[in-house]
Amino acid sequence: MQLSELKLVFASNLIRLRNKAGMTQAELGTMLNYSDKSVSKWERGEAIPDAWVLTRLGEIFDVSVDFLLSSHDAWVPPEAEEDAVTYSRGMIYAVAILAVWTMALIAFVVLWWVGILWWPVFAVALTVSLLVYLILTVYFKRTKNLQFILAGFVLSVFVLLYVLALPWGNKWQLFLIAVPAVVLVFLGCNIRKRPRKAMK
């Protein structure tokens, strides 16, 4: 197989795997620490990435490097894929989070019936719903806004501690810890690998 043909085979495989995973070029580029322009260049068959990127793509899409570089005539054309059953991610997010808040409301009403008016159940629901949202975001590989979701979750944990920490005197001091914790999340999410510069 010639290099030009290999580029086209890889481009076709990458497009299909990315579309199947429901990723944009920008999202895939972020996962690889490359720009969406690089991904676009690969998908147009103008270039082929290095071995590290090929290995990383294999990990992301759960395929081998050989699979990425081989022709697959048995694949279903994109037109036929439209008939396949797919689930709306947005609806899955909505159902999961609504289920958390429904359970919190049920718990609140049941406690109210027995004479306990316990409002902190909604602070618990906030933390749990953000955790569910975070898990689904990672599961669906929609990492574009992951740092904001993770920061929201960390902040909600501190809000929950504030609400539940009844015997403490100066509970507001918890937020002195929350601020650097949220900053740490943003800094940690923006760590990127940089290629080593060749020695001159």
Residues 77 and 96 in one domain: no
Q: Is residue 198 part of a domain?
A: no
Q: Is residue 197 part of a domain?
A: no
Q: Is residue 173 part of a domain?
A: yes
Question: At residue 141, does pLDDT exceed 90?
Answer: no
Q: What is the pLDDT of residue 83?
A: 44
Residues 100 and 69 in one domain: no
The total domain count for the chain is 2
Residues 179 and 123 in one domain: yes
* 174-189 and 146-164 helices, crossing angle to 10°: 170
Residues 36 and 103 in one domain: no
* CA–CA distance, 61 with 41 (Å, rounded to integer): 19
Residues 70 and 161 in one domain: no
Residues 49 and 104 in one domain: no
When pLDDT is averaged across residues 38-58 and rounded to a whole number, the result is 89
Q: What is the pLDDT of residue 90?
A: 82
CATH of the domain at 33: 1.10.260.40
Note the pLDDT tens digit of each residue in 57-90: 989 888 888 888 888 754 444 444 444 445 677 8
**Tokens coding 33:** 């620490």
Q: Of 81, 103, 135, at which residue does a domain stop?
A: 81
Residues 37 and 95 in one domain: no
Residues 181 and 114 in one domain: yes
Q: Which domain holds residue 20?
A: 3-81
The sign of the CA dihedral 66, 69, 74, 80 is positive
Q: Is residue 195 part of a domain?
A: no
Question: At residue 198, does pLDDT exceed 50?
Answer: no
In Å, the largest CA–CA distance within the chain is 77
What are the distances in angstroms from CA 24 to CA 12, 27, 105, 138?
A: 15, 5, 37, 15
